[in-house]
């Protein structure tokens, strides 16, 4: 009889440097103790904006997504696959983690489809996901770190929202935990109180009335997408707290919002 493989943890992190100073810093010790097989998806928005400003390129967003022409895509590729991915992998390797840098382009892992809003330019949405490469790396004890770039059907690179990429990979891998680490303690109500648990209809209602807005919209919808495709537990959590990730995996949901379908027992 073969032993059951450890469960999978899908983490989405921002693109700032000093990745391991907050909750992500729990990962090396979790892995050393035989913790979950882990995949990381990272963003890089602030660094992309800084580079575009240095290059005197226009910066604009619509519904939390960057308007990306050919020049903006070139800047995004330089930042995501070069600067941010390398920095993340380097920090993890320095802490003894066998991290590997990838993007959705590698091995055709993620197929991009043009975004439904053509005004966004070279932005894509996640189509088919082929997680074979990720599974091979996980089986070897490695931690794939994935930049949100992917090829479309005509071989053109497109930039994907990192939250959307994370939701798609989580669903394809059947991740036991999907955790979006951010700089807020989950979703907040209008009065500033913390939403500990939200159902899909509640999330959509909060988007419609503006309680969830801007860059939190694709994050919340990515959570719902992962949930709808079989993810067993999806969270938006405060990534600033060292110990927060370990606590969350142990059942402590303070500083996090759990997304769950009330019709499904979890």
The residues carrying an active-site annotation are: 12, 15, 45, 163, 219
In angstroms, the CA 194 to CA 182 distance is 14
H or E element, residue 32: helix 27-32
Cα separations (Å) of 13 from 16, 115, 190, 202, 261?
Answer: 9, 22, 25, 24, 24
Q: Exposed/middle/buried for 93, CB within 10 Å: 0-12, 13-18, 19+?
A: middle
**Burial grade of 83 (CB within 10 A; 0-12, 13-18, 19 or more):** middle
19: DSSP letter: G
Tokens of 10: 């899908």
């Amino acid at each position: 009889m073969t032993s059951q493989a450890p469960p999978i943890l899908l983490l989405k992190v921002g693109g700032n440097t000093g990745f391991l100073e907050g909750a992500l810093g729990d990962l090396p010790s979790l892995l050393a103790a035989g913790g979950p097989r882990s995949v990381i998806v990272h963003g890089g928005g602030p660094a992309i904006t800084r580079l575009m400003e240095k290059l005197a390129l226009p910066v604009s967003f619509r519904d939390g997504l960057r308007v990306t022409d050919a020049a903006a895509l070139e800047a995004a590729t330089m930042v995501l696959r070069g600067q941010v991915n390398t920095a993340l992998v380097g920090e993890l390797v320095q802490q003894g983690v066998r991290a590997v840098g990838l993007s959705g382009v590698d091995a055709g892992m993620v197929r991009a489809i043009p975004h439904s809003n053509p005004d966004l330019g070279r932005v894509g949405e996640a189509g088919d996901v082929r997680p074979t490469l990720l599974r091979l790396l996980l089986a070897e004890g490695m931690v794939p770190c994935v930049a949100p770039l992917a090829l479309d059907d005509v071989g053109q690179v497109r930039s994907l929202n990192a939250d959307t990429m994370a939701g798609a990979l989580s669903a394809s891998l059947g991740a036991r935990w999907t955790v979006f680490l951010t700089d807020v303690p989950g979703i907040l109500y209008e009065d500033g109180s913390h939403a500990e648990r939200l159902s899909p209809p509640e999330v959509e209602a909060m988007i419609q009335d503006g309680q969830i807005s801007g860059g939190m919209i694709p994050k919340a919808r990515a959570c719902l997408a992962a949930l709808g495709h079989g993810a067993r537990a999806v969270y938006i959590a405060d990534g600033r707290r060292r110990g927060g990730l370990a606590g969350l995996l142990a059942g402590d949901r303070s500083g996090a919002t759990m997304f769950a379908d009330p019709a499904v027992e979890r």
